Structure 1
Amino acid sequence: MSDRPSTPNPRRRPSTPKGWDRADAISTTSWERPPDHLTAGMRRDVVQELGWGRLVFGQTFADHEGLTDVLRDEASGRRDICLYLHDPHVLVATRPQEYFIDPSFTFRMWMHNYRPRPRPAAGVVVRQISGRAHCEEMNRIYVRCGMVPADVDVLWDNHRTTRHITYLVAEELGTGEVLGTVTGVDHTRLFDDPDNGCSLWCLAVDPATVQPGVGELLVRTLIERFQARGRAYLDLSVMHDNEPAIALYDKLGFERVPVFGVKRKNAINERLFTPAPHDDLDDLNPYARIIADEAIRRGVRVDVLDAEGGYLRLEHGGRSVVTRESLSEYTSAVGMSRCDDKRVTRKVVAEAGVAVPAGRTATFDDADHRFLDDVGAVVVKPARGEQGIGITVGVTTHDELDAAIQRAGGAGTQVLLEQFCEGDDLRIVVIDGSVVAAAVRRPAEVVGTGQHDVRQLIEARSRRREAATGGESSIPIDDLTLATIEEEGWSLDDVLPAGEELRVRRTANLHTGGTIHDVTDELHPELAAAALRAAAAIGIPVTGIDLLVPAVDGPAYVFIEANERPGLANHEPRPTAAAFVDYLFPGTRPTPWAWQPDPPAGSDQRAG
């Protein structure tokens, strides 16, 4: 099978039943039953399992009683969707305790209106899935986008055994990394749809993707494949407040149609049909919200004390704990102070046998410059601080050193100089003596389109990062960004060639546009053991240990710092929030998932 999308035949018109026109489409006339001559050949009572739930095609059911029997069979942890049913308001009104009308819009692309355009997303190829690994990558992206995960076996069986389901993935050329996915369902092949339609589901792009236009490329490819089959239209459903997706569909020429979906009132859908249990939950940042959601699922009472600051009070079984995101009352003042001052952190972990780079506290005199001469390149950072503020990486000249020290606070403040070490920025999350997640963090990058200048690319990339992180991540256009771009030989006004990658920040901090890539399954045991030793030496129960590593599957590393309030939301689908709530309220749910590597020979450090 070719990996190249099908090219529509310009002489071939999308086929339609004899005597049919757009006004007769049974999928958009929910107020009346279709005439028998249109539905005579259509299969009845059609339900399609997709792994995350079932698609129930309402137009194939004779009455609401049959639909109700099917919808009541929804599996636990799944989200079924019923579309195209007649009189959805009547079904909901007669069974309001069971069902609700989904607050989504339905958009339709009439195939004869579709206009192909030059393909966006240089350096990306769209292909059908070719193995279970693709299914697992699809699932990873679903979870990172906050969607219901799918059963990998169902995804793979659907691909192998059906002709009516199309699973596409967007891959980065060269690396093969899966950047996004979309699912298509051919209604005509599935149930001899008299409207000759098809639909799009589960469009998802990895929030860490730097390439622009991946979502558009996936949508266009699916449209063109179904257009080549002669389908009349393609439908999709999108939440009413998903403004970026709606803007994309408007751009491509989709139209709103009066098609409504019905869903069951279950725990997954609860936020769609009931007010939030606390009005201020929606004001929490993603790092506090993930903890609040996990606690509520466990039956833990959640009071939002300060939404802007991320402060919560969690109560269960007579125990009350105040948290600020992943920081709780159970972190001692001593542990906090050891994390707060990077000089102290270095000293404490080094005494525990953790490797640290050469370093010194800046004295704002010639000794600082002699240190630079000795090690060749340095990292300059405030001794206290977070979110990458004031840090300069890769300083090699004396003028740069003076500027970096000033940027970190200058004379009269506490500034740390460390030897610059090559490697990937690895964050290991340790909770209650166990490694829960590990991820490589990469500095912000943009990819050229051949049409936009560097400033426009940064602004577009920043908007995508803000949308993906609830406003927590964006790329500032400041002197550090300008210096990084100039070092690469570009300026903000230069048009970057299509496919050209440009790093625009030196540090991998997520708040300045960095991206995070899960490597938990690849983590070398020595790196895990080093993180556990560091956390134990600091005496902190929940922490993000930052290492620089040549490779995540090798033992070499140097310690960089420890974060007393790691962002747990950055590591989905790893169960970081579950581990945190387990630590606070161990009686609410046991979790056997945490990997606890054996300590290296000669070490007394245990992972329990």
Structure 2
Amino acid sequence: MTTQPGHRRERGYSQRLRRMREQGAKPLPGRDGTPTHRNDGTGISIDCGWGNLHFAQTFESLNALAERMRKEGPGRRDIAFYVREPHVALAAAPQELFLDPSHTYRLELSTYRSSRRKLQGFTVRRMTNEEDAEAVNRIYAARHMVTVRPDFFWHRKDRALVYLIAEDNATGAVVGTVTGVDHMRAIDDPERGASLWCLAVDPQARHPGIGEALVRRLAEVFQARGNAYLDLSVLHDNEQAIALYEKLGFFQIPVYALKRKNPINERLFAGPRPETDLNPYARIIVDEARRRGIDVSVIDADGGFFRLTYGGRSVLCRESLSEMTSAVAMSICDDKAVTRRAVERADIRVPAEMETASADDVADFLAEHGKIVIKPARGEQGRGVAVGLTAEDDVAGAIERAKQISDRVLVEEFVEGDDLRLIVIDYRLVAAAVRRPARIVGDGKSTARELIERLSRRRAAATGGESQIPLDSETERALREAGYTLDDVVEDGQEVPVRRTANLHTGGTIHDVTDHVHPTLVEAAVKAARAIEIPVVGIDLLVKSHLKPDYVFIEANERPGLANHEPQPTAERFVDLLFPLSIPHAARQAKRTEPEEPCPA
């Protein structure tokens, strides 16, 4: 049986701590002489930015460990690791601490062998500057992890901490990150251990194998330093991560962690959620309601229907569509031609458009505009939409497919640009994101079909099954325009668009630009929402750039997916709208001082 770290060296640590108390406790210095770790004579902790990592085996008593954990700061997520007797530690503060429902896995570095496989499309390197730090925080936020003050990463001189990132070779974007802690440098560990924390991959990343490459590189760093093993903690139900670690040679050991009960950790100790099969768009709202003490009654989990009750008020919802959206507003959004007329009357710019019954009706319109868009007058999630059509044969086929969704078909001029989704709640901008169509990256060995299937699996895993790339005529047309068929091998490093629409449900990716969107675009979205008189809406614009004022209106979605825009507070603002009295008092006071119109800057 594997010996738990801390068992055979606990006496040595106790003797060392007694000597420190007798001599006057001081922080342990880093290799450069800078004090780096907290050590008040009772035990050793290291600040990792997101919280303190408490080395439980160094504490003189479990009561001392519990007392240290009580001092956790706001917005932090402290972890006590290597807790020898977690049941006894919990007894020291049963209302404040809980046993983390995670497994600990170990990799023996003496037997670990590096992979000879070449990285495809990305590079793993050390974090070097503040831009890297900000990109890592973006990934943390997208993965619901605690963000870190950016200057902490690159000003800190603590050589016990190792920060690695993965960088996309084509775009230069940071697409993954991992943190390592060297126990020899952190606690003068006689077992020469190390640990892995905060492995995270951008959910929009195009390349497979990023997580594996980060773990392997970190193992190589510690192997070169002479560390004996690499430990990590992983949630017991994270099957995908556990499969990766076991593939790399990690094995489970009987080591435990304690955490403090706080809002960040709530889902780990609050018990099971109601109706766990709710989709992500309903789940994000239900979770926010539960956090505020609002009663949740799930009506139809498959359809995303639930009722929220607070005090004497009760509201029926279907995801982000509630009783506060009138039937008239919903019918306006349901018919794209009616939506267009409503916003056009409010001086919102719209593309040229016509309604058609056959391909013959479109000939003059196609000749005038060169490229066109075919879409059903009614429909959602990009179904039946064909973009950038130039050939009459493609037009005829697109019209027939659109008719399968709606008996009325619309034809629009094609406008080059990015697809910008703006979430407007209570006539204020809450989130803005550029949506991009799905693209595959060739490896010189796989066919387009195989690459699409792999990317589709990754997109489904990243979105709870909501995003997948269909192998249909639109996918084949996108490939054909790039010079490929489904069975052609795509050249190594070659990027190929496989959809023309950027809908998330057909594999599109979404990139938050809330803090940078041009004020004119915000104004247009709010004006469109007011024209429709709808309190919660997703406004779609085509823009040359989200930093510039040029746009044309595309459509309005009466049931936008709020979960697609995390970490922006979409669910919070939605629940604010439904139950203003559930807003904390201080936040209500601040809201009263806000201007009536949103401040787009």
TM norm structure 1 = 0.89
1:45 matched to 2:43: yes
Tell me the alpha carbon deviations over residues 200-229 of structure 1, each in whole angstroms, 9 at most, x when there is no partner: 100011111111111112112211111111
Give matches, 1:63-78, under 5 Å.
Answer: 63-78=61-76
State whether residues 424 and 430 of structure 2, in contact with CA within 8 Å, keep that contact through their aligned partners in structure 1. Answer: yes
Deviation at 1:563, TM superposition (A): 0.4
Deviation at 1:106, TM superposition (A): 1.2
Tell me the alpha carbon deviations over residues 392-428 of structure 1, each in whole angstroms, 9 at most, x when there is no partner: 1111111111000001016981111101111101101
Matched position secondary structure for 2:458 = helix
Aligned to 2:121: 123
**Take 2:277 and 2:210, find their aligned partners in 1: how far apart are those partners?**
30
Matched position secondary structure for 2:293 = coil
The residue type paired with residue 329 of structure 2 is: G
Tell me the alpha carbon deviations over residues 113-141 of structure 1, each in whole angstroms, 9 at most, x when there is no partner: 22212355423122222233322221221
1:464 matched to 2:458: yes
Deviation at 1:389, TM superposition (A): 0.6
**Take 1:172 and 1:104, find their aligned partners in 2: how far apart are those partners?**
31
Deviation at 1:348, TM superposition (A): 1.0
Aligned to 2:442: 448
Q: Give the one of 422, 428, 432 matched to 1:434.
A: 428
Aligned to 1:16: none
Deviation at 1:37, TM superposition (A): 9.3
Deviation at 1:490, TM superposition (A): 1.9
Aligned to 1:272: 268
State whether residues 430 and 573 of structure 2, in contact with CA within 8 Å, keep that contact through their aligned partners in structure 1. Answer: yes
**Take 1:576 and 1:191, find their aligned partners in 2: how far apart are those partners?**
42
Mark the runs of 5 or more structure 2 residues left unpaired by the alignment.
21-27, 29-41
**Take 1:37 and 1:433, find their aligned partners in 2: how far apart are those partners?**
60
State whether residues 39 and 194 of structure 1, in contact with CA within 8 Å, keep that contact through their aligned partners in structure 2. Answer: no
State whether residues 111 and 233 of structure 1, in contact with CA within 8 Å, keep that contact through their aligned partners in structure 2. Answer: yes
Deviation at 1:383, TM superposition (A): 0.4
Matched position secondary structure for 2:340 = helix
State whether residues 144 and 567 of structure 2, in contact with CA within 8 Å, keep that contact through their aligned partners in structure 1. Answer: no
Deviation at 1:35, TM superposition (A): 5.3
C-alpha spacing 1:595/1:123, structure 2 compared with 1 (3 Å): farther
C-alpha spacing 1:300/1:150, structure 2 compared with 1 (3 Å): farther
Give matches, 1:325-340, under 5 Å.
Answer: 325-340=319-334
State whether residues 369 and 413 of structure 2, in contact with CA within 8 Å, keep that contact through their aligned partners in structure 1. Answer: yes
Q: Give the one of 557, 561, 568 matched to 1:567.
A: 561
1:391 matched to 2:367: no
State whether residues 361 and 415 of structure 1, in contact with CA within 8 Å, keep that contact through their aligned partners in structure 2. Answer: yes
Q: Give the one of 469, 479, 483 matched to 1:475.
A: 469
Aligned to 1:358: 352
Matched position secondary structure for 1:293 = helix
Deviation at 1:93, TM superposition (A): 5.2
1:87 matched to 2:63: no
C-alpha spacing 1:410/1:366, structure 2 compared with 1 (3 Å): farther
1:576 matched to 2:570: yes
1:421 matched to 2:419: no
Deviation at 1:572, TM superposition (A): 0.9
The residue type paired with residue 182 of structure 2 is: D
Q: Please, which moves more after superposition, 334-343 or 590-599?
A: 590-599
The residue type paired with residue 269 of structure 1 is: N
Tell me the alpha carbon deviations over residues 237-268 of structure 1, each in whole angstroms, 9 at most, x when there is no partner: 11111111112112222122221112223333
Q: Please, which moves more after superposition, 254-263 or 332-341?
A: 254-263
**Take 2:490 and 2:223, find their aligned partners in 1: how far apart are those partners?**
34
TM norm structure 2 = 0.90
| Coordinate RMSD, CA, aligned | 2.7
Q: Give the one of 509, 512, 527 matched to 2:503.
A: 509
Aligned to 2:24: none
State whether residues 434 and 596 of structure 1, in contact with CA within 8 Å, keep that contact through their aligned partners in structure 2. Answer: no
The residue type paired with residue 114 of structure 2 is: P
State whether residues 378 and 406 of structure 2, in contact with CA within 8 Å, keep that contact through their aligned partners in structure 1. Answer: no
State whether residues 122 and 449 of structure 1, in contact with CA within 8 Å, keep that contact through their aligned partners in structure 2. Answer: yes
State whether residues 261 and 269 of structure 2, in contact with CA within 8 Å, keep that contact through their aligned partners in structure 1. Answer: yes
1:310 matched to 2:304: yes
**Take 2:161 and 2:595, find their aligned partners in 1: how far apart are those partners?**
41
State whether residues 434 and 594 of structure 1, in contact with CA within 8 Å, keep that contact through their aligned partners in structure 2. Answer: no
The residue type paired with residue 578 of structure 2 is: L
**Take 1:372 and 1:260, find their aligned partners in 2: how far apart are those partners?**
66
Aligned to 1:103: 101
1:201 matched to 2:177: no
**Take 2:13 and 2:600, find their aligned partners in 1: how far apart are those partners?**
69
Q: Give the one of 124, 138, 141 matched to 1:140.
A: 138
State whether residues 598 and 606 of structure 1, in contact with CA within 8 Å, keep that contact through their aligned partners in structure 2. Answer: no
Q: Please, which moves more after superposition, 469-478 or 364-373?
A: 364-373
**Take 1:200 and 1:326, find their aligned partners in 2: how far apart are those partners?**
38
**Take 2:521 and 2:269, find their aligned partners in 1: how far apart are those partners?**
45
Q: Please, which moves more after superposition, 552-561 or 301-310?
A: 301-310
**Take 1:596 and 1:97, find their aligned partners in 2: how far apart are those partners?**
38
C-alpha spacing 1:37/1:144, structure 2 compared with 1 (3 Å): closer
Percent identity over paired residues:
55
1:380 matched to 2:356: no
Mark the runs of 5 or more structure 1 residues left unpaired by the alignment.
1-21, 600-604
**Take 2:567 and 2:484, find their aligned partners in 1: how far apart are those partners?**
37
1:36 matched to 2:30: no
C-alpha spacing 1:149/1:547, structure 2 compared with 1 (3 Å): same
The residue type paired with residue 435 of structure 2 is: R
C-alpha spacing 1:273/1:378, structure 2 compared with 1 (3 Å): same
Matched position secondary structure for 2:563 = helix
Aligned to 1:299: 293
Tell me the alpha carbon deviations over residues 129-173 of structure 1, each in whole angstroms, 9 at most, x when there is no partner: 22333222212211211223334354444xx22111112221222
Q: Please, which moves more after superposition, 471-480 or 495-504?
A: 495-504
**Take 1:595 and 1:189, find their aligned partners in 2: how far apart are those partners?**
50
